Amino acid sequence: MTLERKIFSNSAINIVCNIISVALKFLAVYLIISYFDKETFGKYTFITSYITILSILIDLGINNIAIREISNNRNQFGSYLSNVIVLKLVLGCLVYVLSMVIILLFHFSQPVKYNTLIINIVAVSSFLFLILSLSQSFEMIFRIELRMIFVGIANVISSLVFILVTYFLIKAGRQLQSFIVNWLGMFFIIMFLLFLFSYKWLKLLTFKLDIALIKRIMILALPLGLSAAFGFIYYRIDTIMLSWFKGDESVANYGVAHKFVEIADIIPASLIVVVFPLMSRFFREDIDKLKILYRRSVDWMLLLGLPMAIIVSMNSDRFILIFGEKYLVANSALKLLIWAAFLTFPGHILGAMIIALHRQKAYPIITGSGVIVNVILNVILIPKLDFVGAAITAFCTELFMLSLFLFIIYRTIGESVLLSSLFRYVFASVIIGILIYGCKMYNINIFMMLATCVIVYGLILLLMRDDSIRGLIKMLKESF
């Protein structure tokens, strides 16, 4: 199998598994939203978002640096993996302590909103940090070996268990605590399965602590670590600030709209875990191949992301109604958030490219600037516009950071890829938008409308001789 076919096959498998996994999680969340009132679902969203934000600090850029170094020095596989596991377990313990300190500060400032129940639930949920310390290390193996099917299988199985347990918890009439434990259990299953699947490579562990190697990893990862620390502030901080300024109901409305963003994110997230190790290798071996991979990857993201944003934003009311009329007010937030999600499509590729080019020192500057923009806008807009203000902030922050990523890459290798194919995708998406408007006027079934949009969009790009979609078709033929 050629390298290109291997990339595509891994991406395809990973995307399919992620789609199944996210679909199962979406159904589970649908059941949870239907079961809880707005206030309780707001608490559920706050706790899971709080833990998710802090979990960023477990990695501190270590995974990407280790993948890059192992891709270039395969004979050091066992040594790197052993020391990365030790390092991440230590970080997991430190983040657990940090989690408890922060939630206690919240409690002392607003004891009614952040009561003893919330503190106890956070204390249990924070064990996720130790679970992720191991599962992220195991996942790193499959990213290096281009065998993401194992990660995909683990995600699908854990999601299936998650929705089944959710169903039985609802039937049993259980409270918030049980649902949080179920959420935590989903990650434990992933860790356990990845441990079983990675047994072949875990035999390479040296079990020898190398302080010098750990220091080297930390020094190389320090810029990305600072970025992760900034990410602690700006990634999903909108949920925390909404909880602080407005309350659980606003968090619930925003959380429902944000679920669609999480679904959209599976596409770029699935591609990047496969593409990044190759970016690192091509930077060392062949810069021209790196540029081709970079251009093709960004083109794929634009090709998929732009029509998605058009379709969802023009049908946001229909999508929100999935969760019931009581959440229809979140329609305005979804219109904005889906465009923020669109910006993350190329943003994933640009961020990985920055690291592959050994420009990780630019990361803290970019994310730090994003933090300033995000926090200032949230402080200004949330008190005035509630969760709509948080959605506006998310879009502006993503646009600002994307611009900085593009600038750094252009200064490094002279590539400005977003303009190369953007016109074709914009033209095709405008046609799709007109088609959607007509379908809504005549009350066409949404599934028929979506199918028509996909077919028309593909035909337009084929008629315009778009290289990206032809490349995808060629890879499909070669792979299958």
Q: Whole-angstrom Cα distance, residue 255 to residue 239?
A: 8
Query: Which carries the bigger pLDDT value, residue 416 or residue 210?
Result: 210
- Phi, psi (degrees; rounded to nearest 5) at 266: -65, -25
Q: What is the pLDDT of residue 480?
A: 40
pLDDT tens digits, 143-193: 777 677 888 889 899 999 999 999 999 999 898 889 999 998 888 898 888
Q: Does any domain span residue 477? A: no
Handedness of CA 375, 381, 386, 389 (dihedral sign): negative
* 215 contacts: CB under 8 Å, gap ≥ 6: none
Q: Whole-angstrom Cα distance, residue 182 to residue 168?
A: 11
Q: 197 — alpha (psi -120 to 50), left (phi > 0) or beta?
A: alpha
| Rg (the chain; Cα; Å) | 22
Instruction: Look at residues 139, 151, 142 and name the one whose alpha carbon lies nearest to residue 20.
Output: 151
Q: Does any domain span residue 99? A: yes
Q: Does any domain span residue 57? A: yes
Q: Does any domain span residue 4? A: yes
Could you give the count of Cα atoms lying within 13 Å of 40 in the half-sphere of its Cβ? 14
Q: Does any domain span residue 11? A: yes
Count of residues for the chain? 480
* pTM of the model as a whole: 0.75
Q: Whole-angstrom Cα distance, residue 210 to residue 224?
A: 21
Residue type at 275?
Answer: V
Q: Residue 236 gets which letter from DSSP?
A: T
pLDDT tens digits, 103-141: 888 878 777 677 777 788 888 777 777 777 777 777 877
Q: Whole-angstrom Cα distance, residue 299 to residue 134?
A: 34
pLDDT tens digits, 255-282: 889 888 888 887 787 777 667 777 777 7
Q: Does any domain span residue 96? A: yes
Structure tokens at 278: 């190759």
Q: Whole-angstrom Cα distance, residue 304 to residue 10?
A: 18
Q: What is the pLDDT of residue 336?
A: 93
Instruction: Look at residues 215, 229, 227 and name the one whose alpha carbon lies nearest to residue 95.
Output: 229
Q: What is the pLDDT of residue 426?
A: 84
Q: Whole-angstrom Cα distance, residue 81 to residue 217?
A: 11
Q: Does any domain span residue 86? A: yes
Q: Whole-angstrom Cα distance, residue 358 to residue 74?
A: 19
Q: What is the pLDDT of residue 479?
A: 40
Q: Whole-angstrom Cα distance, residue 395 to residue 401?
A: 10
Structure tokens at 246: 């407005």
Q: What is the pLDDT of residue 239?
A: 84
- Give percent of the chain above pLDDT 70: 88
Full residue range of the structural domain in which residue 81 is found: 1-235
What average pLDDT does the structure give for the chain? Answer: 81
User: What total of structural domains would you count in the chain?
Assistant: 1
Helices (H), 110-148: 116-125, 128-144
